[in-house]
Amino acid sequence: MAGSTFATGRRTLARLLAPLLCLALAGCASTPLRGTGDLGVVIERASGSVQIVDNSHAQSLARVQGLGDLSHASVVFSRDARYAYVFGRDGAISKVDLLAARLVKRVEQASNSIGGAISSDGRVIAAQNYSPGGVKLFDADNLQLLSSVSTAAFGGGESKVVGLADMPGNRFAFALYDSGEIWLLDASTPSAPKVQRFEHIGKQPYDGLASSDGRYFIAGLYGEDGLALFDSWHADAGVRRILAGYGRGRQALPVYKMPHLRGWSIAGDYAFLPAIGQHEVLVADNRSWAQVATVPVLGQPVFVMAEPGGRRVWVNFAFPDNDKVQVIDVPTRQVIKTLQPGRAILHMEFTPRGDAVWLSSRDDNKLLVIDTATLTVRRTLPALEPSGIFFSSRASRMGM
């Protein structure tokens, strides 16, 4: 009798749960589960929006609006690659959920800003500011302000902050444009960060980058030729100058667009970097940081980006040659292909393993997906005056 009652109960429970199971399966069918490793965002600068894309299938998934002034914008990702943090020119930080395709939160933290970074443990967002200057630290989860770091703390005036990059150990490195310094900020205790200063590095550092292993921070100088190199393994040695001819150099030419230092690339034992104002890509030994060669190109290079495998380097250009892209073979240091994919090619981004490169063509309102094996166009996608392209694979890389 007891067994019969138990069996009846099981049948009753099954009848009750069946509709719920069907609903659950229907929900899964209409909204399939997915990872975030092949997602990315494209900045649509004129409309204050970002487009969420899938780089495995070369398709657009959604558009998220309401991000403000994106005339100069950069992006970092949470450690799990679900969230993109967009830094806008208007000083706002926007947290975007890539899976839900929605704006989670937007914080206006300054009046003029050009970027930021995320700490190595993923807990802290750091924003670098032009106006009023300084660095602010935020909780990555809720974008609550944790602390402010004033660049006037040591008696000087407030300075524009440039080149901010994440370093190992929850540290950030950045340069001070007005006072000519590099600072190393330890955010292990983000409510009470510690600062190490390196003074007199050169005139008007305008940008900076960290090496992919987090060892070096390099600041470019606007006020004089050369670069300032900080070696975090030997911090007590201070900052030394490298590539003394890097800048306007031997002949002062009109500079139509200052190249971003983060447009540099390391391929094998060499660094490839855009010559400022010259129609050249410079090649430097990344151990001694001495220049070893130049590669002639058709215009003033802006981004010089290596494929993930390091065999080839891709170059885009400032006006009037910004409708072209050239491909350099690293072993021979020769241009092997010139492409003309669209008007105003502003940015390039490789898929994580380098099977394709995405290009943004601002004036043609499109994205191009180029097959790196055949150097042919796989697909074009519409976009609203696109500029920066950022894939979520950056979440696991330093200095991004």
Percent of the chain, pLDDT > 70? 89
CATH number at residue 234: 2.130.10.10
Complete DSSP assignment for 285-325: ETTT--EEEEEE-SS-EEEEEE-TTSSEEEEEE-TTSTT-E
- Mean pLDDT for the chain overall: 89
Contacts of 340-346 with C-beta under 8 Å, sequence gap 24+, read: 341/368, 341/370, 341/377, 342/366, 342/368, 345/316, 345/317, 346/316, 346/322, 346/386, 346/387, 346/388
- Render pLDDT for 331-340 as a digit per residue (tens, 0 to 9): 999 999 999 9
The label of the residue with tokens 């914008």 reads 73
CA–CA gap between residue 175 and residue 369 (Å, rounded)? 35
Complete DSSP assignment for 200-267: ---S-EEEEEE-TTS-EEEEEESSSSSEEEEEGGGGGG-EEEE-TT-SSTTS----SSPPPGGG-EEE
Do residues 98 and 106 touch, judged by C-beta distance below 8 A? no
Query: Cβ-count burial of 155 within 10 angstroms (0-12 exposed, 13-18 middle, 19+ buried)?
Result: exposed
CA-wise closest residue to 349 among 334, 329, 367: 367
154 within a domain of the structure (yes/no): yes
pLDDT band at 55 (very low <50, low <70, confident <90, very high): very high
pLDDT band at 4 (very low <50, low <70, confident <90, very high): low
What's the mean pLDDT in 140-158?
Answer: 89
Structure tokens at 51: 């487009």
99 within a domain of the structure (yes/no): no
> Has residue 15 got a pLDDT over 90?
no
90 within a domain of the structure (yes/no): no
Highest mean pLDDT among 86-100, 154-168, 269-283: 86-100
Range of the domain at 171: 109-242
pLDDT band at 8 (very low <50, low <70, confident <90, very high): low
> Has residue 24 got a pLDDT over 60?
no
- Render pLDDT for 174-212 as a digit per residue (tens, 0 to 9): 999 999 999 999 999 999 999 999 999 999 998 888 988
Report the pLDDT value the prediction gives residue 26, as an integer from 0 to 100.
Answer: 43
Query: Cβ-count burial of 266 within 10 angstroms (0-12 exposed, 13-18 middle, 19+ buried)?
Result: middle
The label of the residue with tokens 């106006």 reads 131
- Sort residue 207 into left (φ over 0), alpha (ψ -120 to 50) or beta: beta
CB burial readout 111-135, b (16+ within 10 A) else e: eebbbbbbbbebbbbbbbbbeebbb
SS3 371: strand
- Render pLDDT for 344-371 as a digit per residue (tens, 0 to 9): 999 999 999 999 999 999 999 999 999 9
Report the pLDDT value the prediction gives residue 341, as an integer from 0 to 100.
Answer: 97
> Has residue 328 got a pLDDT over 50?
yes
- Strands 161-167, 124-131: parallel, antiparallel or unpaired by DSSP? unpaired
Query: Under 8 Å CB-to-CB from 28, ≥6 apart: which residues?
Result: none
115 within a domain of the structure (yes/no): yes
275 within a domain of the structure (yes/no): no
pLDDT band at 29 (very low <50, low <70, confident <90, very high): very low
* Cα torsion through 338, 339, 340, 345, rounded to 10: -100
CA–CA gap between residue 212 and residue 324 (Å, rounded)? 27
Helix residue ranges, H only, the chain: 2-30
CA-wise closest residue to 202 among 225, 183, 231: 225
299 within a domain of the structure (yes/no): no
CA–CA gap between residue 328 and residue 330 (Å, rounded)? 6
- Residue 182, beta-bridge partner list: 175, 198
pLDDT band at 11 (very low <50, low <70, confident <90, very high): low
Report the pLDDT value the prediction gives residue 13, as an integer from 0 to 100.
Answer: 47
Structure tokens at 269: 């034992």
- Render pLDDT for 212-234 as a digit per residue (tens, 0 to 9): 889 999 998 888 888 999 999 99
CA-wise closest residue to 115 among 135, 97, 143, 145: 135
- Render pLDDT for 273-313 as a digit per residue (tens, 0 to 9): 898 888 999 999 988 889 999 999 999 999 999 999 999 99
| Phi, then psi, of 268 in degrees rounded to 5 | 65, -130
pTM of the model: 0.90
351 within a domain of the structure (yes/no): no
Do residues 21 and 27 touch, judged by C-beta distance below 8 A? no
Cα 378 to the center of its chain, rounded Å: 24
- Render pLDDT for 79-93 as a digit per residue (tens, 0 to 9): 999 999 999 999 999
Number of domains in the chain: 1
291 within a domain of the structure (yes/no): no
Handedness of CA 75, 204, 294, 257 (dihedral sign): positive
- Residue 372, beta-bridge partner list: none
Report the pLDDT value the prediction gives residue 262, as an integer from 0 to 100.
Answer: 75
> Has residue 153 got a pLDDT over 60?
yes
Report the pLDDT value the prediction gives residue 25, as an integer from 0 to 100.
Answer: 43
> Has residue 1 got a pLDDT over 80?
no
CA-wise closest residue to 41 among 93, 92, 91, 81: 81
| Segment (H or E) for 62 | strand 59-64
Q: Which residue has the higher pLDDT, 298 or 31?
A: 298
